[in-house]
Structure 1
């Protein structure tokens, strides 16, 4: 990936953070911390790596994306907005009754959502099912899913990993947003996950660890995984920072699910606008 493309993707991730923040601010509810830690991964997928068509959201041969950590949907909605799946004026409708932008992704309401998610641990099982369907139907699409590290406390994640290994789903790529924080504090204090790269390897995955805020590493690491048709499912563990880009949110557990007030919103937007300048 050349430097101009890398710069474009970094600028896109900044727009995702700004849009997600604006959604959460207007809703007075939502999850900024994890949305910001995941923004670079989502930008790389939607604007560089995935084979998708916003004019045909249900195209059978599209790549699939499952946001298993469904509470950080503002970052995903921001990507769908910038890609043209949803109208710009929806930015003010997050979490409103009847809106297409619910507090967790709803495939029956929002174009571009491949499966409804929210209950942690369940999205990755859906991803395994989609990847298995592609194998059995001889389709070439790739299934991507994004997990939180706190979500990896769920036993269902590891049951899904076992199934992915059994069925040799090398068309499945799991990203782990390894920001070390969840709703109640540090993941290491609540339920240590140990080394997630080694853990997924022990479950039969091809696994790497990268900087989840470095576009070059995200894109190149994912492409290396895509090139390995060896029967092993893939996992990209991403070192990230919860609340990335906003000084008073970074590495603070209370920003897991807190909306900013007027002053905090203005400061956060100013800091995000100044990223990489």
Structure 2
């Protein structure tokens, strides 16, 4: 477990260094979802990083719907062997495979859909989950969504379909940080009780109260796995803090899509002691 906690710190260092280097990117949500990604790829999912293919037969699959938090996705993939860590140096640069939003046309291992147009990832995850059922593949499909993303209507069409068709090999996690690009989700468009909404659509809903505590995230994801195969898709409401791990980025939407300057980077790295090796 200490290895995974150390990896969380290193992933956070990767995130702030990537966005600083090109003065572009989305550090807030990336930092807030670090424990989720580290837990998913370090403890929860079954996958073959060394022999990645688009079909993913005999493996668990993950789809990132809120694709703007690509820095945490790229760091986690690299740190788990999908591609070389030093490729993180190319983030958002011309001809890089590490685009601001994940894409598939460059053949980046670990990425199975282009994402960034919000609201679409759940539909893709449902399709992949149904394909696994047709192929008699008992592995699971995981997806991640921002809470602000739930303002997209396609999410609720997909949610209705998944429950109506008993897609019970799907675990969709909502990053409930209460923030989106223009302010708090309550200020932009209040959504009420998200968990009750999913439950009303026929999902099995559970909550991870502290999505920035690695032990809690691992326990929650394992609990979600135990609920699959029982006729309902599973939804996790995961409460996180945008900018978690860097004090001046926490508690505000202002770091949704802003890169730190030189002094701010130094401050952030000073709060994140290197645990592995910087790229």
Relative to the length of structure 1, the TM-score reads 0.94
Residue 20 of structure 1 deviates from its aligned partner by 1.3
Q: For the structure 1 residues 52 and 274, does the alpha-carbon distance in structure 2 shift closer, same or farther, using more than 3 Å as the test?
A: closer
**Greater relative CO, 1 or 2 (CA 8 Å, sep 6+):** 2
* Separation in 1, partners of 2:109, 2:274: 31
Residue 80 of structure 1 deviates from its aligned partner by 0.8
Could you list the runs of 5+ residues in structure 2 that have no partner in the other structure? none
String of CA shifts for 1:84-116, please: whole Å, max 9, x gaps.
Answer: 111122121111121010000112321111211
* Separation in 2, partners of 1:140, 1:107: 25
Runs of 4+ in 1 over 6 A off after TM superposition: none
Residue 175 of structure 1 deviates from its aligned partner by 0.7
Relative to the length of structure 2, the TM-score reads 0.94
String of CA shifts for 1:122-165, please: whole Å, max 9, x gaps.
Answer: 11111111111111221112110000000011111111111110
Quick check: 1:267 aligned with 2:267? yes
Aligned residue for 1:17?
A: 12
CA contact (8 A) 2:115 2:121 kept: yes
What's the Cα RMSD here? 1.3
Quick check: 1:70 aligned with 2:76? no
Residue 9 of structure 1 deviates from its aligned partner by 2.2
Q: What is the DSSP-based 3-state SS (H/G/I as helix, E as strand, rest coil) of the residue aligned with 2:97?
A: coil
Aligned residue for 2:117?
A: 119
Q: What is the DSSP-based 3-state SS (H/G/I as helix, E as strand, rest coil) of the residue aligned with 1:235?
A: strand
* Separation in 2, partners of 1:270, 1:218: 25
1:84 alignment partner, one of 63, 66, 81:
81
Q: State which drifts further: 116-125 or 52-61.
A: 52-61
Aligned residue for 1:225?
A: 224
Could you list the runs of 5+ residues in structure 1 that have no partner in the other structure? none
1:179 alignment partner, one of 174, 177, 180:
177
CA contact (8 A) 2:92 2:98 kept: yes
Quick check: 1:54 aligned with 2:49? yes
1:33 alignment partner, one of 28, 48, 73:
28
